[in-house]
Amino acid sequence: MANGRRSISVDMNPDEKWSRRRAVEVHDETADGFLAEYRGDNIFDSPFRYGRHLINRAWARCVSELPQGATCLDIGCGVGAHMARLLDQGFEVTGIEPSAEMRRLAAKNIPADLVSDGSVLRLQAADSSIDFVYAIEVFRYLDARDNVQGHREIVRVLKPGGIYFGTYVNKWALDGFRQLSQFRKLKERLTRAPRRYHVEFETPSSLCDKLRAAGFSRVTAHGAMFAPLRVLHKVSPRLGAAVSRLTMPHETRLSDYAPFRSFAGHLIIVARR
């Protein structure tokens, strides 16, 4: 399996190119913070670690279904935390990460030559060559057209029956993130301040339809993280931590039960080619 070392260049309008560029800049700016969060050992003290713990549980279930020595591709691998886990289990894994700062930090966790610059819009891997592709908190930063292209690329490189695992932002999550994003956009327009970054919001049903249209089969959506916890942590970290301990045992009912899935803090997709 080969991965290219060039950034993607696709002819689209300036706004689309801006969203990709800004996504990279944001991760260059926040790379050290991501590393600190991953190294934290108390999942209840941080909504980031709480949410990632739930994502990791779902991700691990997919990994448990992989054949021995499976080939894996981490899209937007960040500091390489998930790649390190796969390597420890004997899987063949490579990653792509467009943020130079993230790649620098990833080299502290995994061999540097396993991670290259690249984009989900044009994966440098052969058709039907990968058993497992995952993209954690990647598509949220890309606009709708880039999402379509990225999903098609993942279908192209997956082996028949291969697994895709991805996370997305729920449009109606109870943390109010969409409403906050809309307020920020309005403020940026009025003050002519620089835009922070793009956020692509999804609903479970519409996202499943989009993935099927891209060529995936057996698409399932899951909710993870009782979204109001993010607000509670901002109001009072101590209160947020206390409530987190109470909600964790009931997360499946709070976030993944069908009537509540659209309101969860994370939207997780598991699909097969």
Residue 165 lies in a domain: yes
Q: What is the pLDDT of residue 8?
A: 39
Q: For 215, how many CA atoms within 13 A lie in the half-sphere containing its CB?
A: 18
Domain count, the chain: 1
pLDDT tens, position by position, 9-67: 444 455 558 899 999 999 999 999 999 998 898 999 999 999 999 999 999 999 999 99
Query: How many CB atoms lie under 10 A from the CB of residue 219?
Result: 17
Secondary structure of residue 233 in the 3-state scheme: helix
In whole angstroms, what is the distance from residue 162 CA to residue 71 CA? 10
Q: Measure the CA–CA gap between 254 and 273, rounded to whole angstroms.
A: 29
CATH code of residue 28: 3.40.50.150
Buried b (16+ CB within 10 A) or exposed e, 70-89: bbbbbbbbbbbbbbbbbbeb
Domain-located, residue 8: no
5 backbone φψ class: left, alpha, beta (φ>0; ψ -120 to 50): alpha
What confidence score (pLDDT) does residue 129 get?
Answer: 98
With respect to residue 224, please indicate whether it lies within any of the assigned structural domains: yes
pLDDT for the residue 16? 59
Task: Please report, to the nearest 10 degrees, the dihedral formed by the alpha carbons of residues 146, 151, 154, 156 taken in order.
Answer: -100
What is the per-residue pLDDT across 186-231, written as a single tens digit (0 to 9) for each?
Answer: 888 888 888 888 999 999 999 999 999 999 999 999 999 999 999 9
Closest-CA residue to 30 (of 101, 131, 94): 101
Query: Is 157 inside a domain boundary?
Result: yes
At 177, list the tokens. Answer: 């993130």
CA neighbours closer than 13 Å in the CB half-sphere of residue 58: 28
Place of tokens 């739930």: 54
Task: Express each pLDDT in 145-154 by its tens digit.
Answer: 999 999 999 9
Report if residue 62 sits inside a domain.
Answer: yes
* 117 domain-assigned: yes
The DSSP secondary-structure symbol of 192 reads T
Q: Is residue 1 part of a domain?
A: no
Encoded tokens for 188: 């940026």
In percent, the amount of the chain with pLDDT more than 70 equals 94
Q: pLDDT at position 193, please?
A: 84
pLDDT digits (tens, 9 = 90+) for 156-195: 999 999 999 999 999 999 999 999 898 888 888 888 888 8
Structural domain boundaries, residue 200: 14-272
Alpha-helical (H) ranges within the chain are 14-39, 47-63, 81-88, 100-106, 144-157, 177-191, 204-214, 228-235, 237-247, 251
Residue 41 lies in a domain: yes
